[in-house]
Structure 1
């Protein structure tokens, strides 16, 4: 698949990506609490829903969660995604980053992201170099997800939990940083027309919270 590099200064080698991320991103915050800030949400394209769902009260009520955005240190870096199994009760068959809800024993969002990544795909936490985090992403299901960005060596051994993950795959970061590859789609969810971002890639369809997180990541890294 061919694509056009976005016209910005973000580098796509492991060293240039590391330098950029460390320069502009804060370290991961605690796993929960009032310090969480919504940087993006499922309601960004739905202003009629945003007023009541992206508020101080909604933030306090949101359940904290975290995901790891694994940046694979190839000559041109890629991001690693999971394809969730079809039998799951929530988000079955969707494309996501490894992660889940914060547990009391998790010291911060990084601990949650690393624990969940180890459980879901067998990624050794010792092989992840944390580079920072994004503001949390508020979902329509009431979670506030803190995305943690980590650099991972290429070809690390993985062991997938087949109850949760069907497969993993990689997408080149330049493709994901190109706004021309983002589409707006509409779907009826709970009887309400909802608009959301989507990114088609090589026969796959990245959408919803994952696409929203990616768009916010692009904004933070290129601002």
Structure 2
């Protein structure tokens, strides 16, 4: 049997292969065409006029034999931006980092104690332009088991896992809207148990679906 035929759907191996061959055009040009950006076309011109700070997040896909899991965090309520929200590990890119990959790995170590030698970076998604002033590069990665999570209590309230198969099922991508700074803003919600994944994180996950699984 051909090796490609033995790769299980929603496994880490399948995710890695899709990350290397994702569709949708070059990541440098495709941010307008994915996720919740296409739900808010009027905001694109506004976002492009902002003085954005570069940031990176790690999209950690854990390699499990029964199906890959995505590692997510809940930010503490005391943080100045995006407090209490579900998020990927990540933050601003420092000058010393040199690349989004290095920044995402460093932030994952600082926020949840994920050692970088457990992580294999396998690609990027198009940047996510946040209305809060960040241009975020999602760094796709495969994480092997054996790590121990040690959340930074100043930044992370909880760490949890969600099956990749759940997050890549479009039936779980609910659309919602709210008024933000005087304008209606459309976004995705992905309820999972007691967790409500929405905002930037849901927008990135929707882009992941559109680029790799749609």
Report the TM-score, using the length of structure 2 for normalisation.
0.87
What does residue 188 of structure 1 align with? 179
Give the drift of 1:104.
Answer: 0.3
Report the TM-score, using the length of structure 1 for normalisation.
0.83
Deviations 1:135-182 (CA, angstroms, capped at 9, x unpaired): 100001121100001111125211110000011000001111111101
The reply on whether 1:67 has 2:60 as its aligned counterpart is: no
Distance 2:35 2:54 in 1: 14
Q: What are structure 2's unaligned runs of at least 5 residues? A: 1-6
Cα RMSD (Å) = 2.2
Deviations 1:2-48 (CA, angstroms, capped at 9, x unpaired): xxxxxxx98212222222222338xxx9xxxxx67635465432222
What does residue 167 of structure 1 align with? 158
The reply on whether 1:135 has 2:135 as its aligned counterpart is: no
Match of 2:31 among 18, 29, 38: 38
Query: May I ask how many residue pairs the two structures share in their alignment?
Result: 203
Whether the aligned pair in 1 keeps the contact of 2:118 and 2:145 (CA below 8 Å) is no
Whether the aligned pair in 2 keeps the contact of 1:85 and 1:164 (CA below 8 Å) is yes
Distance 1:10 1:46 in 2: 35
What does residue 82 of structure 2 align with? 91
Whether the aligned pair in 1 keeps the contact of 2:36 and 2:188 (CA below 8 Å) is no
17 and 43 in structure 1: CA distance in 2 versus 1, 3 angstrom threshold: closer
- Equivalent residue runs for 1:144-155 within 5 Å: 144-155=135-146
Whether the aligned pair in 1 keeps the contact of 2:35 and 2:206 (CA below 8 Å) is no
Give the drift of 1:67.
Answer: 0.2
216 and 168 in structure 1: CA distance in 2 versus 1, 3 angstrom threshold: same
After TM superposition, the structure 1 stretch with the greater mean CA deviation from structure 2, 201-210 or 35-44, is: 35-44
Q: Provide runs of 4+ in structure 1 moved above 6 Å.
A: none
Distance 1:21 1:117 in 2: 20
Distance 1:199 1:155 in 2: 28
Q: What are structure 1's unaligned runs of at least 5 residues? A: 1-8, 30-34
Give the drift of 1:217.
Answer: 0.7
- Equivalent residue runs for 1:2-17 within 5 Å: 11-17=9-15
